[in-house]
Structure 1
Amino acid sequence: MAIFTYLLSKDFPLRGQDISQGVNVLQKLRRIKSYKMVWLFSRYSTGWLCGLHADFTELYVSGCVDRMLNKKEGTRRVRRYFYTTFLREPIARFISEYRHVNRGATWIASRHICNGRAPTSDELPLCFDPHLGWDDVSLDEFLHCPFNLAFNRQTRMLADLTLVNCYARNGTDPRIRDRILLESAKRNLRNMAFFGIKERMDDSQMMFERLFNLSFNKRLSAWSRSKSNDTDVNPEQLRLIREHNELDIELYDYALKLFEHRLAAILNRSSLLQDGSRESLKAAPTEILVFEISLNFDVFRDDELLGSDETT
């Protein structure tokens, strides 16, 4: 959710203590800021340095983040990156995007860089006249554009698109291409230190806070309302939405199971800590970099805590 990185970008609306070392985490973050080092990479803190709503391929695979931070900080150095993201129930997410486009959004400035270049107009045709926009588009029109990037957006933006030759579709069996993208998205999700679920905001917030040993001053669920629930959708439109978002539906189902696995591991770890039978959580990182794509890409990895065999 955008509110997640928005609140993080504010002047530390958090509180936290590194239990194992007795060091205030916020002091670490403020020290990073005093040296003009970037601790948060997101639309609200650094702007769209890798392009409007950059995806995993643009941020990570292309190496854009390192290049942009080297340029912004004026130096080359080794950094620790902690990726996170939020997922959303695919039907509601699709309808929400439709409502956004209907109000005038087009994201036409997005670059979609993959393998060092933007897609050609043949590889990625537009659904609308760029001079006119797509304001007031009907849901039926939105559903019947075969090039609509709203279809399976979460899968596409979490996958490594270089595995399927980016946006080129010539000579590729669509079914094979879809499976490669879905498996890539699942793999990248597993490798993220933290991901949240919009429909589970309280649990997501608790998970983030315990992983990073930081606490928000407000409940994120207070900002989880959406206009997608107010949109009238007839049975045929709902059928088409499901059909066009099959990959996202499967990815979301997988994410829910993985989320439960991680949540149980964290709660169990916390219980052991309270019993005094395990050591304290690791020290909080000295730099936290949170990335955002259209899904809200962010960051953290701790295999010891989460386990490396998350396959369900």
Structure 2
Amino acid sequence: MNELIVFTHIPKTAGSFLQKKFIEANVPPNRCYTTAGLKEFILKSSDNYQLFYGHLPYGVHLLTPRSVRYITLLREPIDRAISFYYSMKEVDIKIYKHPFREYADSLTLKDFYKNRNLQNVQTRFIAGVLSDKLYPKLPSQYMDNLILYLAQKNLVNYIYGISDRLDESIELFTKKLSWTYPIDMIPYRKTRNRPTKDDLDQETIQVLLKANVLDMKLYEFALNNFNKQFMNV
């Protein structure tokens, strides 16, 4: 059975751009499946799809007999956190209402990220399915150290890009996957009504740093190893 590409789409890391401008230009619509979760993946992964796209943490290769190649994009964690919070609030609820919309509307950016369920999202996705589920339920230094270790270990199995270095990332994907370069690089679903990091007060910045401390470490690790991917093309 042919290789299956799994795109781990971490929210607000330019994943929608990658899907619309890059994946859809290289994978026929009937060979690409957008999934809402693990149940769909289990039911559909044995079919003749070339790529699965969705919020799928690392580890789904254990749920299919096919050989799996993972791809993903990572983003500077504080910028991603700001974008995630404000992106929910700018969408017309008549078009789409995010599951966290009411929660986000009821809290400031600072208080929103005091919730452990919303912290260190990138590290949890790359650490794996079980780690992502257990992290909010088992707050401890041991759990934090474990999922950071797993994320760094698993990232080696990814072809990954950095959304802040999108041109280089797309070039890497084209070489690794033998795909064609996108026709345009215009951002897709960019969050517009949001502050920058420089606009935030220091108290809010400190809360965001604490809430994403593992993501910051994983991002630094990813940046340090990003150029090495080009050497293996």
Structure-1-length-normalised TM-score: 0.54
Corresponding residue number in structure 1 for 2:166:
201
Q: Deviations over 1:199-246 (max 9, x none)?
A: 0001001111111222123243x2175437635411110111111111
Corresponding residue number in structure 2 for 1:155:
123
Deviation at 1:3, TM superposition (A): 1.4
Deviation at 1:137, TM superposition (A): 3.4
User: How many angstroms apart in 1 are the aligned matches of 2:136 and 2:209?
Assistant: 24
Preserved CA contact (<8 Å) 1:106 1:134: no
Corresponding residue number in structure 1 for 2:21:
7
Aligned pair in 2 of structure 1 residues 80, 30: CA closer, same or farther (>3 Å)? farther
Preserved CA contact (<8 Å) 1:92 1:229: no
Task: Tell me how large the CA RMSD over aligned residues is.
Answer: 3.2
User: How many angstroms apart in 1 are the aligned matches of 2:52 and 2:191?
Assistant: 25
Question: What runs of 5+ residues in structure 2 fail to find an aligned partner?
Answer: 1-14, 33-46
AA at the equivalent of 2:152: K
Aligned pair in 2 of structure 1 residues 139, 162: CA closer, same or farther (>3 Å)? closer
AA at the equivalent of 1:246: V
1:39 pairs with one of 46, 50, 54: 50
Preserved CA contact (<8 Å) 1:164 1:177: no
Aligned pair in 2 of structure 1 residues 6, 190: CA closer, same or farther (>3 Å)? same
Please state whether the residue corresponding to 2:180 is helix, strand or coil. Answer: strand
Map 1:12-161; keep pairs closer than 5 Å.
13-14=25-26, 37-43=48-54, 53-57=55-59, 59-61=60-62, 63=63, 66=64, 78-103=65-90, 106-107=98-99, 133-135=103-105, 137-144=107-114, 146-147=115-116, 149-160=117-128
Preserved CA contact (<8 Å) 1:158 1:188: yes
Aligned residues: 197
Preserved CA contact (<8 Å) 1:87 1:196: yes
Please state whether the residue corresponding to 1:83 is helix, strand or coil. Answer: strand
User: How many angstroms apart in 1 are the aligned matches of 2:30 and 2:56?
Assistant: 28
1:189 pairs with one of 130, 148, 155: 155
Structure 1 or 2: more helix by fraction: 2
Preserved CA contact (<8 Å) 2:58 2:127: yes
Question: What runs of 5+ residues in structure 1 fail to find an aligned partner?
Answer: 15-25, 44-52, 67-77, 109-127, 266-304, 307-312
AA at the equivalent of 2:172: M
Structure-2-length-normalised TM-score: 0.71
User: How many angstroms apart in 2 are the aligned matches of 1:102 and 1:191?
Assistant: 34
Deviation at 1:154, TM superposition (A): 0.3
Once the two structures are aligned, what percentage of the paired residues are identical?
Answer: 24
Corresponding residue number in structure 2 for 1:177:
143
Q: Point out the structure with max Rg over C-alpha.
A: 1
Map 1:233-248; keep pairs closer than 5 Å.
233-248=200-215
Please state whether the residue corresponding to 1:42 is helix, strand or coil. Answer: strand
Please state whether the residue corresponding to 1:216 is helix, strand or coil. Answer: coil
Aligned pair in 2 of structure 1 residues 90, 165: CA closer, same or farther (>3 Å)? closer
User: How many angstroms apart in 1 are the aligned matches of 2:123 and 2:192?
Assistant: 23
Aligned pair in 2 of structure 1 residues 95, 228: CA closer, same or farther (>3 Å)? farther
Deviation at 1:7, TM superposition (A): 3.2
Aligned pair in 2 of structure 1 residues 189, 260: CA closer, same or farther (>3 Å)? same
Preserved CA contact (<8 Å) 2:110 2:207: no
User: How many angstroms apart in 2 are the aligned matches of 1:176 and 1:95?
Assistant: 27
Preserved CA contact (<8 Å) 1:94 1:150: no
